[in-house]
Amino acid sequence: VLQKLQKLYPGIEFSLQKITTKGDRITDLPLPSFGGKGIFIKELETALLEREIDLAVHSFKDLPTDMEPELEITAVLEREDPRDVLVSRKGLKLAELPAGSRLGTGSPRRKAQLSSFRPDLRILDMRGNVDTRLSKIEEGLYDGAIMAAAGLLRLGRQNIITEYLSPEICTSPAGQGAIAVETRAEEGQLKNMIKTLDHLPTRIALEAERAFLTRLGGGCLTPIGALAKIEGSRLTLMGMIASPDGKVIFREKIEGSPEEAKKLGIYLAESMLKQGASAIIV
């Protein structure tokens, strides 16, 4: 975001202010045990409201569906690869891992889907940044880990990726791979500057995913995935809802016009609820 703004507006000085969130500080506990909506963004939004910063940069998937009314998502950058990936210590793919292999993840969504696909694996909690997770694999504490492709690609670490997981095996969370830029709603000139970063196809796809998530009304304990893609004049949206243990899992896909992104998200959610998914939403 900084590089893009400096290139577009060379006469304006931009600076970074690093803010550590609750989700970043607590790395020795599983997210569901202490987390909730906004654990990776609350401190940034407070700084925005108190005018300590002028814009906040978030991983879109960390944003709760109910935003602060005084703030708004002014731009969404073009999305990086939204898929999950396997980083395997011995270079084995997911289907090739021996029974009992230890896979690390801090995500209930990943845990449920992996347990459904390979119930013979041990899915263990794993927290920390990329280097921390990789060191745990190298030390032999885990045989591999499931991570977001986008994070590794942005860090230039694509060489460590063993396998890109199909959305039919591990559906991504709504917003994965996208970066959001948040500003105060009252801002005028600044908002107009930030809007030049907005990537409309990404924003439309995320609108469908968020509508799906909002209509389900699931909390952070329910494994839910949503992935939308625009190809030509059509938008496809895949939805996933699972029980935490992965023994019950619903998947469905819908296709329609990008202009009806929000309606498609709502329709898909209601369709899955009618099929029985409502019974496993916490």
Which of 78-87, 115-124, 273-282 shows the lowest mean pLDDT across its residues?
273-282
Query: Cα–Cα distance between 123 and 105 in angstroms, integer?
Result: 7
- Nearest-5° Cα angle at 266, 253 to 237: 25
Quote the radius of gyration of the chain (alpha carbons, Å): 19
Query: Cα–Cα distance between 151 and 226 in angstroms, integer?
Result: 18
Query: Cα–Cα distance between 84 and 89 in angstroms, integer?
Result: 17
Q: What is the dihedral of CA 107, 66, 71, 20, to 10 degrees?
A: -30
Query: Cα–Cα distance between 152 and 148 in angstroms, integer?
Result: 7
Beta bridge partners of 146: 86
Q: Is the pLDDT of residue 11 over 50?
A: yes
Residue 37 confidence class, pLDDT cut points 50, 70, 90: low
Does the annotation mark 62 as catalytic?
yes
The type of residue at 137 is I
**pLDDT tens-digit map of 175-217:** 999 999 999 998 889 999 999 999 999 999 999 999 999 999 8
The Cβ of residue 207 has, within 10 Å, a number of other Cβ atoms equal to: 18
Q: Is the pLDDT of residue 35 over 60?
A: no
Query: Cα–Cα distance between 18 and 128 in angstroms, integer?
Result: 17
CA atoms within 13 A on the CB side of 61: 21
Q: Choose, from 54, 62, 120, 198, the residue flagged as catalytic.
A: 62
Residue 36 confidence class, pLDDT cut points 50, 70, 90: low
**pLDDT tens-digit map of 71-118:** 999 999 999 999 999 999 999 999 999 999 999 999 999 999 999 999
Stretch 149-162: mean pLDDT: 95
More confident residue, 24 or 226: 226
Query: Cα–Cα distance between 10 and 46 in angstroms, integer?
Result: 28
Please report where in the chains the tokens 């939805």 appear, as a residue. 239
Q: Is the pLDDT of residue 28 over 80?
A: no
Stretch 229-245: mean pLDDT: 96
More confident residue, 39 or 122: 122
| Beta strand 122-125 pairing with 102-105 | parallel
Residue 38 confidence class, pLDDT cut points 50, 70, 90: low
Q: Is the pLDDT of residue 27 over 80?
A: no
The Cβ of residue 187 has, within 10 Å, a number of other Cβ atoms equal to: 17
Stretch 234-249: mean pLDDT: 96
More confident residue, 281 or 207: 207
Task: Select from 159, 181, 167 the least CA-distant residue to 63.
Answer: 181
pTM over 0.95: no
pLDDT averaged over the chain? 92
pLDDT of residue 32: 54
Stretch 209-235: mean pLDDT: 90
